[in-house]
Structure 1
Amino acid sequence: MHACLLIPEILAHIFFDIYHHCAINYEDAALSRVCHSFKDIALDVLRTELDNLEPLFTCLPHDLWIRTPERKLIIRRPVTSADWAIFERYASRVRVLGNRQSDLFGGIDSEFVFAIMGCCSQSLLVPKLQVLCCRSYPRDLHLCMRYFLSPDLIYLCMLPQGDRFWTNTMTSVLSGLSRHSPRLKVVEFSFDCYHSEITSFKVIQPALCELTHLRKATFVLPCERDSSWLSHLVGLQELHINFAGFLRPTRSQVRISYLDKLSVALLNMDLHARLVAEWVVPCRQLELRCSTTDSAAVIARCLRMLDDHLLCDVLECLILNMPILFENEAIDKAFTLHTFVPLLRFSGLKEIEIATSCMSLLDDDALGSIVKFWPCLERLYLGCEHFWSTPPKITFRGLVTLLSTCPNLKGLGLAFDATKLNPPTAIGDVCNTNITTFQVGFSPIDQTLEVSTVLSAILPCLKQFFVEPSLFVEAPDRARREAKWREVSRYMTSTHSDAYLGTVLNVLDT
């Protein structure tokens, strides 16, 4: 055997690639049988991450269980200490269990599960579990949740479907979360508007607030409930909240000293402003997601209301995620210079993403007036993910102004009129080598060679363009525009670079 194959780390990498790229079944453990030095490493790779518990139960002796025609695992005889020893040997290798799509127990019959639990002396089925993700969970097995709450658990995701998950049994088990799994760093919980779920969450809240290692939390919560308890999540770095429901949100006092990232989802921007009227949560990254679209005037008013609440001096990234309109476009939804005014005081902004809103009313001067307040900008995405019947007013002049004002720009998405080849005389002073992709959205284009010539001068490392995504109905002229921008890309990556550079200089001279 080659000496390299005696190094466990190298073997682990090899086995991991074989397992994840060759679609090996759980039952295929041939590598673990090749030689003794392969066995433990191969079994670790096979069992480290499981979608459900079935692979652990099917490792047990075949006379213990049988699979029915309905793919159900049924117990055939009593479980012995020898059976449990086998289960324990494999279960101790599992670090990640479950996913967001399937039942945690797969097709295992509840009687079989309880029989194994009866042999479990330490009250843990998977003693070294670090990640647990649960979407579907049989009601008669809720008591088993305690057997998954390992002291090594660092990630817990509970995103059930339906209203039958938050029973008294499940609530009682999770109320001891801070005792059973005190090292939790990431939690995801979903609670609907049902009375039983709200009551359950009130019981679980104290346990969440006692998790001193918690760094990231994601919650789906009813908007009409008090959210002041969020202030007690100590040491939190990221907070993601989806406030569900259509009722008027409850104003609560939430005070958090600082967050790396805050994401809040609500019906519309107006509800955002009302909900956080008494919040003070300074954050470096802020994402506001809406289910409906407000007018630009309402958005501007709401942004002013968020000032010193969520919009604070430390702000570096702002994402406004508005839904794409499929009905007739309303011009009052289009952003103007006035819409951006509440954001202009944040000179430390590095990223702005308002990709689904209409920016067709912004012209070159308006864009220049906006970005001059954001000299540190590294990523800018404006109106590039949807087609709007109102054509963009920004031209190459505005693009050059943007690049000269924000020299650190690395990511760019902007719809502009590429049919107007009017680069300013100062174009020779602008050259950004950081940007390699350009989300041009619904930018109109005709003369591909001329466009590629100008872009090569100001964005010489640009390689790829993306028009707006094709959703339910393809936008007018999208296929033609996509082909045109591909042609620009081919020109810019031409192998005849010297001759092409001469063409660029000739065009710029004229």
Structure 2
Amino acid sequence: MHYCLRIPEIRSAVFWQLAPDSSGIEGWIPPDVRRDLAALARTCKAFSDGALDVLWSRQTTLVPFMKCLPPDAWEAFEDEVVSADPAEGIEAITVGSVRLTRPIEHEEWRRPLAYAFRVRNLLIDFKDRVPVSQLLGYFPPGSDTKIPFPRIMSLTWAVHTMSLLDIRLFLSPSSYLRELRLRPLAFGRTSLAWDLEALSRLAVEFQELRILDIFVFSEGMDYALYQKINSTLVTHVDQVKQLRVGLLDLPSFQHLTRLPSLHNLEVHSSVVPLDIVGWFPPTRTTISRTLPAASLRRLSLDGLDLPYFLATQLLESATGWALADLDIANWRAEPRENMKRLHSAISTRIQAETLQSLRVGHVESDSEGYEIDEGELIERYAIDSDTLSLLFCFPNLETVALTAPAGFALNTRTVQELTTAWTKLTKLSLTSSSYGDCHRPTVRGRVLMAFAQNCRALQTLDIALDMRGTPPVALSRRSFSAQTTLARIAFGPAPISQPREIARYLAYLFPNLNHNTGISVSEDWDELYGDYDETSRDTPDDFDEEECEWFWAWQEVPSG
């Protein structure tokens, strides 16, 4: 054997190279990699420990642990469990698992515990329902007996068919656990009774966590209970750095934002009733002058039906947010006045120098309850210049992605001011979420000159412009220096004339823009007019002859 392979650090690097981190929540190791590591472990004594460390480091079930017991002590069986998937609802499924068939002697635990000592990442899933219940009989929580997995650093609890209190099997004051993911906890979809006092005692065990991810599926449950569960589970996370949790009560949210350790806070929710206790009706009493912790750099408020007045109140619960990244999204189409209040809260509550990434917008929903009259859509739901310009106070923005139900009703002056306010942009997206008709752009394509001159780092641009009457290259400034970083531009549902002139104009402003793959228009147009046959007698109900002409004119731009 080469002398280098006798160095433990080199051997460890070789073994870990075979099993790089997976992108999945549990970081599982593929079967073929497991076979390679097992073969290495059997090759020679020098390789055994290192290969086994990697092989056992990430486990997606308790089944291998149970199978380390004597063969007569366990059996494989098909377990029927109830799934409460958010998309599918309640469903009975059958999973393969193992169970103990006789009492286990103390000495028989020696082998499985030796392998369990190597586990760092552990996923507990449906198939572990019976093993967990049986192991609790041998390793009761709170006893002096050591826990079976004393060195796990990351635990994902992805089963709701057991009490969350059973997670104590993997917790102890001396454990290495730093990352905990609870997903999904379907409190309302099972008959299990939840003791909030017991959950509060359990939450004490979370004090040393650095990452905590809690997803409670709230459909079918009392929403006040949902709020209490989320708030209870985060009571003692005083050292957490990353936290993802459902909608909390206001005191809990304020407590979290003051934690000096917290860097990343994501508050998500599904359907939020408007009479939720502590949040409605909005009052000025929620506005606070208290500073949040300077360590909090990212805040995400994301929900299927999270109204913007809640997002506004969350921001107004403190002042002087030192955020670098703010992300707010929901599926609720809200009128311009609500968006204006939200933009105002963003501009007055967040420190102007710190914000680098801003994503605010409405995500399209197919729900029938969201149908809006097209005339009302454009009149009340398009973001105007006054609303957008409230955000021009952030000079260090690099990424801006704003989405509105009816797009943006901007004037040329506002777009020009945008280019001087956000000179550090690398990505800008001002789009419609395609509920129906959106505001037809009035800003002409000549404003692209301002982007080229002022936004020198811009790489991606998505904005609706009127590309009719764009000035020819010959009329552009002679002293102009081309912008060379823009690689992609999308114009939305944009009117156009003289496509060849447009092509030359774009090439002059942005010479590195790929005209074949980097230029696009409305996806809705592509679906509606891309396969349109003039000889066909079947004309779509929302067919627009002028739009169809514009769509095909855009197809000529790449060849221009």
Q: For residue 295 of structure 1, what is the aligned residue in structure 2?
A: 335
**Equivalences for residues 430-509 of structure 1 within 5 A:** 430-443=481-494, 451-463=502-514, 464-465=517-518, 467=520, 475-477=527-529
Q: Say which of 274, 284, 297 aligns to 1:260.
A: 297
Mapped contact 2:214–2:245 kept (Cα < 8 A) = yes
Q: For residue 497 of structure 1, what is the aligned residue in structure 2?
A: none
Q: For residue 316 of structure 1, what is the aligned residue in structure 2?
A: 356
Q: Say which of 386, 390, 393 aligns to 1:345.
A: 393
Mapped contact 1:400–1:430 kept (Cα < 8 A) = no
User: Normalising by structure 2, what TM-score?
Assistant: 0.73
The 10-residue stretch of structure 1 (415-424 or 291-300) with the greater mean CA deviation from structure 2: 415-424
**1:361 partnered with 2:409:** yes
**Equivalences for residues 118-267 of structure 1 within 5 A:** 122-139=145-162, 142-148=165-171, 151-163=175-187, 164=192, 166-167=194-195, 171-178=199-206, 182=208, 184-190=209-215, 192=218, 193-194=222-223, 196-201=225-230, 203-208=232-237, 211=238, 213-222=239-248, 227-242=253-268, 245-248=272-275, 249=279, 252=286, 253=288, 255-258=291-294, 259-265=296-302, 267=306
Q: For residue 117 of structure 2, what is the aligned residue in structure 1?
A: 92
Q: Structure 1 counterpart of 2:170, which letter?
A: Y
Q: Say which of 41, 44, 49 aligns to 2:53.
A: 44
SS of equivalent to 1:175: helix
CA–CA separation in structure 2 for the residues paired with 1:421 and 1:373: 24
CA–CA separation in structure 1 for the residues paired with 2:163 and 2:73: 22
Q: Say which of 62, 66, 74 aligns to 1:65.
A: 74
SS of equivalent to 2:456: coil
The Cα shift of 1:67 comes to 0.6
SS of equivalent to 2:72: coil
SS of equivalent to 2:348: coil
Mapped contact 1:214–1:234 kept (Cα < 8 A) = no
SS of equivalent to 1:382: strand
The Cα shift of 1:368 comes to 1.1
CA–CA separation in structure 1 for the residues paired with 2:555 and 2:30: 34
Q: Structure 2 counterpart of 1:176, which letter?
A: V
The Cα shift of 1:340 comes to 1.2
SS of equivalent to 2:268: strand
The 10-residue stretch of structure 1 (299-308 or 448-457) with the greater mean CA deviation from structure 2: 448-457
**1:117 partnered with 2:139:** yes
Q: For residue 406 of structure 1, what is the aligned residue in structure 2?
A: 455
Mapped contact 1:360–1:393 kept (Cα < 8 A) = no
The Cα shift of 1:138 comes to 3.8
Relative distance call for 1:50 and 1:460 in structure 2 (3 A) is: farther
Relative distance call for 1:227 and 1:121 in structure 2 (3 A) is: closer
The Cα shift of 1:17 comes to 6.1
Q: Structure 2 counterpart of 1:344, which letter?
A: F
The Cα shift of 1:30 comes to 3.2
Q: Structure 2 counterpart of 1:106, which letter?
A: D
Q: For residue 541 of structure 2, what is the aligned residue in structure 1?
A: none
Q: Structure 2 counterpart of 1:366, which letter?
A: T
Deviation digits for residues 416-461 of structure 1 (CA, Å, limit 9, x no counterpart): 3456553561387242222333344445678776554443333333
The 10-residue stretch of structure 1 (386-395 or 70-79) with the greater mean CA deviation from structure 2: 386-395
Mapped contact 2:244–2:265 kept (Cα < 8 A) = yes
The Cα shift of 1:189 comes to 2.6
Identity %: 20
SS of equivalent to 1:43: helix
Aligned length: 481
The Cα shift of 1:348 comes to 2.8
Q: Structure 2 counterpart of 1:270, which letter?
A: F
Deviation digits for residues 230-260 of structure 1 (CA, Å, limit 9, x no counterpart): 3442322222112562235166446413321
CA–CA separation in structure 2 for the residues paired with 1:357 and 1:427: 40
CA–CA separation in structure 2 for the residues paired with 1:482 and 1:307: 38
Mapped contact 1:413–1:439 kept (Cα < 8 A) = yes
CA–CA separation in structure 1 for the residues paired with 2:478 and 2:4: 56
Deviation digits for residues 3-34 of structure 1 (CA, Å, limit 9, x no counterpart): 66663144224422699896438678333223
Deviation digits for residues 445-487 of structure 1 (CA, Å, limit 9, x no counterpart): 787765544433333333443757979x984236799999898
Q: Structure 2 counterpart of 1:291, which letter?
A: W
SS of equivalent to 2:328: strand
Deviation digits for residues 341-372 of structure 1 (CA, Å, limit 9, x no counterpart): 21122223232111455445335443113222
Mapped contact 1:156–1:186 kept (Cα < 8 A) = yes
Relative distance call for 1:110 and 1:385 in structure 2 (3 A) is: same
Mapped contact 1:269–1:302 kept (Cα < 8 A) = yes
CA–CA separation in structure 2 for the residues paired with 1:428 and 1:478: 40
SS of equivalent to 2:184: coil
CA–CA separation in structure 2 for the residues paired with 1:323 and 1:186: 27
Q: For residue 104 of structure 2, what is the aligned residue in structure 1?
A: 79
Q: For residue 374 of structure 1, what is the aligned residue in structure 2?
A: 422
Q: For residue 319 of structure 2, what is the aligned residue in structure 1?
A: 280
Mapped contact 1:384–1:440 kept (Cα < 8 A) = no
Relative distance call for 1:54 and 1:451 in structure 2 (3 A) is: farther
Relative distance call for 1:271 and 1:109 in structure 2 (3 A) is: closer
SS of equivalent to 2:118: coil
**1:33 partnered with 2:70:** no
CA–CA separation in structure 1 for the residues paired with 2:198 and 2:407: 48
Q: Structure 1 counterpart of 2:456, which letter?
A: P
SS of equivalent to 1:315: coil
Q: For residue 494 of structure 1, what is the aligned residue in structure 2?
A: none
Name structure 2 gaps, 5 residues minimum: 23-27, 80-95, 533-549
CA–CA separation in structure 2 for the residues paired with 1:114 and 1:431: 68
Q: Say which of 12, 15, 18 aligns to 2:18.
A: 15
CA–CA separation in structure 2 for the residues paired with 1:108 and 1:454: 68
SS of equivalent to 1:308: helix
SS of equivalent to 1:270: helix
Deviation digits for residues 215-238 of structure 1 (CA, Å, limit 9, x no counterpart): 222220256776433344232222
Name structure 1 gaps, 5 residues minimum: 492-506
Mapped contact 2:466–2:496 kept (Cα < 8 A) = yes
Mapped contact 2:361–2:403 kept (Cα < 8 A) = yes
CA–CA separation in structure 1 for the residues paired with 2:158 and 2:522: 30
CA–CA separation in structure 1 for the residues paired with 2:318 and 2:20: 47
Q: For residue 504 of structure 1, what is the aligned residue in structure 2?
A: none
Relative distance call for 1:277 and 1:356 in structure 2 (3 A) is: closer
The Cα shift of 1:383 comes to 0.8
CA–CA separation in structure 2 for the residues paired with 1:113 and 1:342: 58
